[in-house]
Amino acid sequence: MSNNLKDEILELLWSLREKGSKSYMDIIEGISDSDNDTSDIMRKMEKAGLIRIIGDDVELTEKGEARSRDLTRRHRLAERLFYDVLEVGMEESEFAACEIEHFLSPHVTDSVCSFLGHPPTCPHGKPIPRGKCCSRYKADIKPLVMQLKELEVGSEARIVFIVPSDDTRLERLASMGIIPGSIIRLRQKRPSYVLEIDETSLALDSLIAEEIYVKEQV
Protein backbone atom coordinates (compact mmCIF):
# COMPACT_ATOMS: atom_id res chain seq x y z
CA MET A 1 0.00 0.00 0.00
CA SER A 2 1.23 3.47 -0.77
CA ASN A 3 2.81 4.64 2.44
CA ASN A 4 2.57 8.31 1.64
CA LEU A 5 -1.11 8.13 0.84
CA LYS A 6 -1.73 6.13 3.99
CA ASP A 7 0.10 8.78 6.02
CA GLU A 8 -1.80 11.53 4.27
CA ILE A 9 -5.09 9.92 5.24
CA LEU A 10 -3.94 9.51 8.84
CA GLU A 11 -3.00 13.19 9.00
CA LEU A 12 -6.23 14.26 7.39
CA LEU A 13 -8.15 12.25 9.99
CA TRP A 14 -6.31 14.19 12.68
CA SER A 15 -7.10 17.61 11.26
CA LEU A 16 -10.70 16.66 10.46
CA ARG A 17 -11.13 15.57 14.06
CA GLU A 18 -9.88 18.99 15.18
CA LYS A 19 -12.73 20.45 13.16
CA GLY A 20 -15.16 17.98 14.68
CA SER A 21 -15.55 15.71 11.64
CA LYS A 22 -14.91 12.01 11.11
CA SER A 23 -16.88 11.75 7.90
CA TYR A 24 -15.81 9.23 5.28
CA MET A 25 -16.79 11.63 2.50
CA ASP A 26 -14.62 14.42 3.95
CA ILE A 27 -11.64 12.10 3.63
CA ILE A 28 -12.44 11.13 0.07
CA GLU A 29 -12.82 14.82 -0.80
CA GLY A 30 -9.72 15.85 1.14
CA ILE A 31 -7.42 13.39 -0.61
CA SER A 32 -6.96 14.25 -4.24
CA ASP A 33 -4.97 11.37 -5.65
CA SER A 34 -5.86 10.33 -9.15
CA ASP A 35 -3.42 7.39 -9.23
CA ASN A 36 -4.84 5.59 -6.24
CA ASP A 37 -8.21 4.56 -5.01
CA THR A 38 -8.60 6.19 -1.61
CA SER A 39 -11.39 3.89 -0.46
CA ASP A 40 -9.28 0.88 -1.40
CA ILE A 41 -6.38 2.19 0.68
CA MET A 42 -8.75 2.84 3.57
CA ARG A 43 -9.98 -0.75 3.50
CA LYS A 44 -6.35 -1.88 3.69
CA MET A 45 -5.73 0.52 6.56
CA GLU A 46 -8.68 -0.96 8.40
CA LYS A 47 -7.23 -4.44 7.91
CA ALA A 48 -3.88 -3.19 9.19
CA GLY A 49 -5.64 -1.99 12.37
CA LEU A 50 -5.09 1.73 11.82
CA ILE A 51 -8.68 2.85 11.38
CA ARG A 52 -12.23 1.68 11.97
CA ILE A 53 -14.87 2.35 9.35
CA ILE A 54 -18.30 2.51 10.98
CA GLY A 55 -21.05 3.40 8.56
CA ASP A 56 -20.25 6.89 7.21
CA ASP A 57 -17.66 7.53 9.89
CA VAL A 58 -13.98 6.77 10.12
CA GLU A 59 -12.20 6.57 13.46
CA LEU A 60 -8.58 6.16 14.40
CA THR A 61 -7.66 3.06 16.37
CA GLU A 62 -5.11 3.41 19.15
CA LYS A 63 -2.38 2.38 16.73
CA GLY A 64 -3.64 4.76 14.05
CA GLU A 65 -3.96 7.55 16.57
CA ALA A 66 -0.31 7.22 17.65
CA ARG A 67 0.89 7.24 14.05
CA SER A 68 -1.37 10.14 13.12
CA ARG A 69 -0.24 12.18 16.12
CA ASP A 70 3.44 11.64 15.23
CA LEU A 71 2.89 12.63 11.61
CA THR A 72 0.98 15.75 12.56
CA ARG A 73 3.64 16.73 15.05
CA ARG A 74 6.42 16.30 12.48
CA HIS A 75 4.51 18.10 9.78
CA ARG A 76 3.68 21.14 11.92
CA LEU A 77 7.17 21.38 13.39
CA ALA A 78 8.65 21.18 9.90
CA GLU A 79 6.37 24.05 8.86
CA ARG A 80 7.71 26.16 11.72
CA LEU A 81 11.25 25.29 10.73
CA PHE A 82 10.88 26.10 7.05
CA TYR A 83 8.53 29.03 7.31
CA ASP A 84 9.80 30.90 10.37
CA VAL A 85 13.44 29.98 10.62
CA LEU A 86 14.51 29.28 7.06
CA GLU A 87 11.99 31.83 5.78
CA VAL A 88 10.85 29.72 2.89
CA GLY A 89 7.42 30.82 1.56
CA MET A 90 4.29 29.24 3.01
CA GLU A 91 3.52 27.11 -0.03
CA GLU A 92 7.02 25.73 -0.27
CA SER A 93 7.16 25.17 3.51
CA GLU A 94 3.98 23.17 3.27
CA PHE A 95 5.46 21.07 0.49
CA ALA A 96 8.75 20.50 2.33
CA ALA A 97 6.84 19.58 5.49
CA CYS A 98 4.86 16.96 3.57
CA GLU A 99 8.09 15.41 2.34
CA ILE A 100 10.08 15.52 5.54
CA GLU A 101 7.37 14.21 7.87
CA HIS A 102 7.75 10.70 6.47
CA PHE A 103 11.32 10.19 7.53
CA LEU A 104 12.08 12.28 10.61
CA SER A 105 13.00 9.90 13.44
CA PRO A 106 11.46 10.52 16.89
CA HIS A 107 14.83 11.68 18.18
CA VAL A 108 15.37 14.15 15.35
CA THR A 109 11.80 15.39 15.74
CA ASP A 110 12.40 16.17 19.40
CA SER A 111 15.65 17.91 18.45
CA VAL A 112 13.82 20.12 15.96
CA CYS A 113 11.18 20.86 18.59
CA SER A 114 13.81 21.82 21.18
CA PHE A 115 15.72 23.86 18.63
CA LEU A 116 12.55 25.85 17.93
CA GLY A 117 11.76 26.44 21.61
CA HIS A 118 8.90 23.86 21.68
CA PRO A 119 6.39 25.91 19.69
CA PRO A 120 2.76 25.21 20.66
CA THR A 121 1.31 25.85 17.18
CA CYS A 122 2.21 25.68 13.49
CA PRO A 123 2.27 28.85 11.31
CA HIS A 124 -1.41 28.25 10.52
CA GLY A 125 -2.21 28.38 14.24
CA LYS A 126 -2.96 24.66 14.56
CA PRO A 127 -1.74 22.95 17.75
CA ILE A 128 1.45 20.90 17.52
CA PRO A 129 1.02 17.66 19.49
CA ARG A 130 3.46 17.79 22.41
CA GLY A 131 6.47 15.49 22.58
CA LYS A 132 8.57 14.11 25.42
CA CYS A 133 11.02 16.98 24.91
CA CYS A 134 8.36 19.59 25.69
CA SER A 135 7.92 18.51 29.29
CA ARG A 136 11.53 17.75 30.12
CA TYR A 137 13.25 20.36 32.25
CA LYS A 138 16.80 19.65 31.27
CA ALA A 139 17.60 21.32 27.98
CA ASP A 140 20.12 19.13 26.20
CA ILE A 141 19.95 21.10 22.99
CA LYS A 142 20.81 24.75 22.86
CA PRO A 143 17.71 26.29 21.36
CA LEU A 144 18.01 28.54 18.37
CA VAL A 145 14.63 30.03 19.05
CA MET A 146 13.36 30.82 22.53
CA GLN A 147 10.50 32.51 24.26
CA LEU A 148 11.13 36.19 24.92
CA LYS A 149 10.98 35.47 28.65
CA GLU A 150 14.14 33.31 28.30
CA LEU A 151 16.14 36.15 26.77
CA GLU A 152 18.60 37.96 29.01
CA VAL A 153 18.05 41.62 29.77
CA GLY A 154 20.24 43.75 27.49
CA SER A 155 20.23 41.20 24.65
CA GLU A 156 19.21 41.94 21.13
CA ALA A 157 17.03 39.47 19.27
CA ARG A 158 15.01 39.02 16.12
CA ILE A 159 11.37 38.01 16.41
CA VAL A 160 10.93 34.66 14.66
CA PHE A 161 7.28 33.91 15.28
CA ILE A 162 4.42 34.83 17.59
CA VAL A 163 1.80 32.44 18.97
CA PRO A 164 -0.95 34.72 20.23
CA SER A 165 -3.65 33.37 22.50
CA ASP A 166 -6.07 35.47 20.47
CA ASP A 167 -5.88 37.11 17.06
CA THR A 168 -6.77 40.62 18.19
CA ARG A 169 -3.58 40.53 20.22
CA LEU A 170 -1.58 39.84 17.08
CA GLU A 171 -2.99 42.99 15.48
CA ARG A 172 -2.24 45.03 18.55
CA LEU A 173 1.34 43.75 18.63
CA ALA A 174 1.73 44.44 14.90
CA SER A 175 0.57 48.01 15.41
CA MET A 176 3.50 48.43 17.82
CA GLY A 177 5.94 46.93 15.30
CA ILE A 178 6.13 43.59 17.08
CA ILE A 179 6.09 41.30 14.05
CA PRO A 180 8.33 38.49 12.79
CA GLY A 181 11.58 39.97 11.52
CA SER A 182 11.65 42.94 13.91
CA ILE A 183 14.83 43.42 15.90
CA ILE A 184 14.19 44.10 19.56
CA ARG A 185 16.36 44.83 22.58
CA LEU A 186 15.14 43.61 25.94
CA ARG A 187 15.46 46.41 28.51
CA GLN A 188 13.81 44.89 31.58
CA LYS A 189 11.70 41.97 32.67
CA ARG A 190 10.32 43.21 35.99
CA PRO A 191 7.81 44.45 36.95
CA SER A 192 6.82 44.38 33.29
CA TYR A 193 8.63 43.65 30.05
CA VAL A 194 10.18 46.61 28.32
CA LEU A 195 11.44 46.27 24.75
CA GLU A 196 13.08 48.68 22.43
CA ILE A 197 12.30 48.67 18.72
CA ASP A 198 13.92 51.40 16.62
CA GLU A 199 14.55 53.72 19.59
CA THR A 200 10.97 53.28 20.80
CA SER A 201 10.34 51.72 24.19
CA LEU A 202 7.35 49.43 24.62
CA ALA A 203 5.98 47.85 27.77
CA LEU A 204 4.38 44.42 27.58
CA ASP A 205 2.84 42.21 30.22
CA SER A 206 4.63 38.98 30.98
CA LEU A 207 1.95 36.79 29.45
CA ILE A 208 2.72 38.26 26.05
CA ALA A 209 6.41 37.62 26.60
CA GLU A 210 5.59 33.91 26.56
CA GLU A 211 3.94 34.20 23.19
CA ILE A 212 6.81 35.89 21.38
CA TYR A 213 9.58 33.59 20.10
CA VAL A 214 12.93 35.15 19.31
CA LYS A 215 16.39 34.31 18.03
CA GLU A 216 19.24 36.03 19.77
CA GLN A 217 21.38 38.27 17.56
CA VAL A 218 25.09 37.63 17.92
Q: Give the residues lining the site for Zn ion (CB under 5 A).
A: 79, 113, 118, 122, 124, 131, 133-134
Smallest separation (angstroms) from Zn ion to the CB of 216: 19
Distance CA 141, CA 150 (A): 15
Q: β-pairing, 146-147 with 212-216?
A: antiparallel
On whether the CB atoms of residues 114 and 140 are closer than 8 A, the answer is yes
On whether the CB atoms of residues 48 and 129 are closer than 8 A, the answer is no
Closer CB to Zn ion, residue 140 or residue 198? 140
Q: β-pairing, 156-162 with 212-216?
A: antiparallel
Distance CA 5, CA 42 (A): 10
210: helix, coil or strand?
coil
Smallest separation (angstroms) from Zn ion to the CB of 66: 17
Smallest separation (angstroms) from Zn ion to the CB of 206: 22
121 contacts: CB under 8 Å, gap ≥ 6: 76, 127, 128, 163
Closer CB to Zn ion, residue 133 or residue 146? 133
Closer CB to Zn ion, residue 74 or residue 118? 118
Smallest separation (angstroms) from Zn ion to the CB of 157: 20
Closer CB to Zn ion, residue 134 or residue 179? 134
Smallest separation (angstroms) from Zn ion to the CB of 106: 12
7: helix, coil or strand?
helix
Q: Cα 68 to chain center, whole Å?
A: 14
Closer CB to Zn ion, residue 42 or residue 113? 113
